[in-house]
Amino acid sequence: MSKKTFDALGLITEDEAVTTTASCTAVQIDGLNVGSAAYHAVIATGAFVGTVDASNNYTFGLEVSDALAGTYVPVGDVAESLEAEEIEIGFTSEQIERLVPGANFFRVTATRVGTTATGVTYTASITKV
């Protein structure tokens, strides 16, 4: 786990390779739950391994917690990816604070859907709207 401040770097994970449902290592990003602001988690997926279609792909969700080893709660809508692309999950500082007061740990969970999309690599970061 690395500690980051939003103004310096909003990177959650880089070149994360998954072959099954998995969460990346959480990072601490201070200050996103303070005040009133809108953010996007930007997830750039790379090329998929295996056959990808509407029932064989990966979905991506942003999760927050108030502790590294704490309980993680989904934020925003889950985004589906069928190809190498950039997808976004929108959320607000108020939403984070309402879901998990004091939350400043962020991670992305990639969920494998079906059986033939056997792997994907992604990079995830947070940007302010």
Domain positions in the chain: 14-128
CATH assignment of 14-128? 2.60.120.230
Coil, strand or helix at 66: coil
pLDDT tens digits, one per residue of 99-110: 999 999 999 999
Does the structure show a pLDDT above 60 at 5?
A: no
Q: What's the rounded mean pLDDT across residues 7-23?
A: 87
For residue 3, name the pLDDT band (cuts at 50, 70, 90): low
C-beta separation of 9 from 123 below 8 A: no
Q: What's the rounded mean pLDDT across residues 87-110?
A: 95
Coil, strand or helix at 98: helix
C-beta separation of 43 from 88 below 8 A: yes
